[in-house]
Amino acid sequence: MADAGTLHEAFVDELCDAYDAERQLTQALSELSRAASRPELREAFQTHLEETQGHADRLELVFATLDENVRGKHCEGIADIIEEGRSILEANLDDITMDACLIAAGQRAEHYEIATYGRLVAWAQAMGYTDAASLLRQTLDEEKAAQQKLSSLARAGINQRTDDTAHPDKDEARVAAGAATHSYNPATLKLQRL
């Protein structure tokens, strides 16, 4: 029977995976930034590209705190997410729809990274690697902020403009029918008139 692996070994393996993911994302974020038509979306991708380069540097510090050699292990999960994003770049979409799809692609990557860094922080804390946990927490917080920024851009109008482009007569029909706009408020579980 082979020796069972340890949490430390699993942790280092995950660090190697995360390191490769950050390196792959550096290229992908550059592509997403160039494809974005809205300046604020382009800027969000560019800002996160700079953070991502810092994430790889921070992972190198984590390896150093553990006296481990810096190395990457091909991250299939992020490679598949990036490939999905690249397929969007090949689609024939109008600018606003492309931006909405780019946001979705970015969010997929952010959710993957949030899950990865959340796990790494938890494992580092469980093993008492406080320096590593602190460094990884910084990256986790930046990943969450990047995801929040993409969500904010979507809510700030990119998704609505995409819907308006797809259904230009919807608002006219709503006004003609005298329809009211409602929103769902989960706190009160009631529909409220806007």
Task: Report strand pairing: 182-185 vs 190-193.
Answer: antiparallel
Q: How confident is the model at residue 5 (pLDDT cuts 50, 70, 90)?
A: confident
Instruction: Let me know if domain 7-169 sits in CATH 1.20.200.10.
Output: no
Residues 6+ apart with CB under 8 A from 152: none
Residue 53 pLDDT > 70, yes or no? yes
Torsion angle, alpha carbons of 61, 64, 65, 68, to 10: 130
Most confident of 89-98, 154-163, 183-192: 89-98
Domain ranges of the chain: 7-169
